[in-house]
């Protein structure tokens, strides 16, 4: 089999489809590679094991969130900086990300191992955003809280976006920022 561009993306799509169709435990690396049209060795060049497929874009997502937070206006409050991070991340999410959402959600819900991996992904995203906020001079407790709210807003916005009608023109940014606004309002009711 000759190398073709896009192998990493094809592997992710193939894995999500197979996890959805037959379950995580029943899916083998060989099946994922075959569905993606690559060899097992190509799979292992991109991923150490099938668990890592779930967090395939985590480094990129973390980087985008951090870039957005760092680029926020100096006077932005922590959640304002988080909003800039969400905008930056949303700008890079396309139709493939949206299409995978419902199948990925179902696959994660059906597998304890994938739920654990998803939780670790959330922890990693929160840590990246916390670090970016602390670098802006936000005190650590406020940075932690804002980052956790940012993760919740991203996850809720992504879920809403991926499950919305095809003619949803707002995109991920609209949904993530709406979720952030909902959490902003909710935090005011906690006292």
Residue 149 is encoded by which pair of tokens? Answer: 């709210």
Domain hosting residue 62, numbered range: 57-188
Please give the Cα distance from 151 to 146 (Å, whole number).
9
User: Residue 167: inside a domain, yes or no?
Assistant: yes
- Residue 2, pLDDT above cutoff 70: no
Nearest to 162 by CA among 148, 149, 176, 152: 176
Contact 125, 34 (CB under 8 A): no
pLDDT above 70 for 5 = no
Is residue 40 domain-shared with residue 68, that is, in the same domain? no
pLDDT of 111: 87
Average of pLDDT values for 185-190? 88
Helices H / strands E in the chain, number of each: 9, 0
Per-residue pLDDT, averaged over 52-81, amounts to 91
User: The tokens of 55 are what?
Assistant: 């967090």
Would residue 2 count as lying in a domain? no
pLDDT band at 122 (very low <50, low <70, confident <90, very high): very high
Q: Which residue has the tokens 């083998």?
A: 28
Question: With bands split at pLDDT 50, 70 and 90, how would you rate the model's confidence at 164?
Answer: confident
Structurally, how many domains does the chain consist of? 2
Q: Is 1 contained in some domain?
A: no
Give the least confident one: 40-44, 78-82, 181-185, 186-190: 186-190
Token reading at 169: 């023109």
Please tell me the predicted confidence (pLDDT) of residue 169: 60
Supply the pTM of this predicted model: 0.84
Quote the CA–CA distance of 50 and 54 in Å, as a whole number.
Answer: 8
The predicted structure's pLDDT at residue 9: 86
Which pLDDT belongs to residue 60?
Answer: 85
Q: Are 68 and 177 in contact (CB under 8 A)?
A: no
Rounded to whole angstroms, how far apart are CA atoms 132 and 62? 10
Kindly indicate the confidence band of residue 101, based on its pLDDT and cuts at 50, 70 and 90: confident
Note whether residue 147 is domain-resident.
yes
């Amino acid at each position: 089999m000759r190398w073709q561009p896009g192998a990493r993306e094809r592997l992710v799509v193939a894995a999500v489809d197979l996890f959805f169709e037959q379950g995580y435990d029943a899916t083998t690396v060989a099946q994922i590679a075959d569905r993606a049209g690559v060899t097992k060795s190509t799979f292992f060049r991109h991923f150490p094991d099938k668990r890592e497929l779930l967090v395939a874009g985590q480094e990129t997502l973390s980087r985008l969130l951090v870039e957005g937070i760092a680029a926020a206006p100096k006077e932005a409050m922590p959640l304002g900086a988080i909003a800039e991070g969400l905008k930056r991340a949303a700008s890079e999410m396309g139709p493939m990300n949206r299409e995978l959402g419902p199948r990925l959600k179902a696959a994660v819900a059906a597998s304890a191992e994938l739920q654990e991996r998803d939780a670790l992904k959330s922890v990693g995203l929160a840590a990246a955003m916390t670090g970016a906020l602390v670098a802006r001079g936000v005190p650590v407790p406020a940075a932690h809280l804002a980052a956790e709210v940012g993760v919740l807003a991203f996850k809720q916005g992504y879920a809403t976006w991926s499950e919305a009608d095809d003619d949803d023109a707002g995109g991920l940014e609209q949904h993530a920022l709406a979720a952030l606004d909902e959490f902003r309002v909710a935090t005011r009711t906690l006292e």
